[in-house]
Amino acid sequence: MSSLSNIRGVTLIELLVFVVVIGTATTALFSVFNVTMANNVDPMIRVRLQELAQSQLDEILARKYNENTPTGGIPACGSGEVGALACTGIGTDGGEAGVGDYDDVDDFHLFADTPFPGYNRSVSVTEGGTDIGLAVGQAKRITVTVTAPAGESVQLSAYRANF
């Protein structure tokens, strides 16, 4: 015959404690999973923002420094060398109807477009020579800003020197 002291099992209190511990752990695990899933798309958006800004910046940097800069850059406009023309101001110089006609860096000043639905891209070009230790008109700072539909933005800047 068996006695009551040899019976093994789980008490109701032990079972309730087990359920509470497992429930709490599961809730914590699912909340971490939920945050991870919500932020999973962020890296893709950041990469797209960077790519859009970099491609626009590359396109601008491929242009001449100024309307009056000769092919090859010598003599640089505004340099005072024999045959050098004066540099024109920031902005379009006339005769440039659109991006396809932009032939120098500063033509892109205040340019804006929407490369993908909800993504806005804008460009600012300013005199930047003193920022990098040159005379005022000897460098331009190009800043490209791209904003995602959710409001996150990326800003890339580069300097283009007059040579």
Identify the three-state secondary structure at position 63. coil
Q: Is the confidence at residue 2, as pLDDT, over 60? A: no
| Residue, of 40 and 156, whose pLDDT is higher | 156
Say how far apart CA 161 and CA 158 lie, in whole Å.
10
pLDDT at 148 (0 to 100)? 94
φ and ψ of 7, to 5 deg: -80, 130
Say how far apart CA 93 and CA 103 lie, in whole Å.
10
φ and ψ of 160, to 5 deg: -120, 115
Contact 161, 73 (CB under 8 A): no
- Write out 102-155 in H/E/C secondary structure: CCEHHHHCCCEEEEECCEEEEEEEEECHHHHCCCHHHEEEEEEEEECCCCCEEE
Q: How many residues does the chain have?
A: 163
The answer to whether the pTM exceeds 0.85 is: no
The candidate with the shortest Cα–Cα distance to 64, out of 104, 93, 4, is 104
Q: What average pLDDT score do residues 128-157 get?
A: 92
State the amino acid at position 123 in one-letter form. Answer: V
Q: What average pLDDT score do residues 5-26 get?
A: 88
